[in-house]
Amino acid sequence: MTKSIVRVSVSEAARLFGVSEKTIRKAITAQKVTYIVVRGRYKINFESLVKWSQKSTRRKNQLANNGIGQYVTNWKISNKKFSPSSDHLAKK
């Protein structure tokens, strides 16, 4: 079974992670994320973006406050296997 790779554009990455497009482009230039070029546009490997975002406290906070993380508390996940532990949430 092959692993499916999710790729996003620079603008999608910026919105998802709560940072500017300039920040994403700097990560590309510094080779901090993996990408391919499709029709002259960067397509960034989502998994590499997640790893990159977790290496910096500032980026973690931007993800949590400005990116997709700000919506996590509104998600209604009924399957406990995929839902955050209520004990974990209570600690925060």
Q: How far is CA 48 from CA 7, 44, 90, in A?
A: 10, 8, 30
- Residue type at 39? R
* Per-residue confidence band for 27, with pLDDT thresholds at 50, 70 and 90: very high
* Per-residue confidence band for 58, with pLDDT thresholds at 50, 70 and 90: confident
Residue with tokens 């406050």: 65
Domain boundaries, the chain: 7-91
Residue spans of beta strands (DSSP E) within 10-85: 35-38, 41-45
Query: What pLDDT, on a 0 to 100 scale, did the predictor assign at position 24?
Result: 95
What are 63-82's pLDDT values in tens digits?
Answer: 888 888 777 767 666 666 66
- On the question of pLDDT at 47 being above 90, the answer is yes
Pair 26, 69: CB distance under 8 Å: no
Average pLDDT over residues 27-54: 94
Pull the structure tokens for residue 60.
């973690």
Specify which of 9-18, 55-64, 83-92 reaches the highest per-range mean pLDDT.
Answer: 9-18
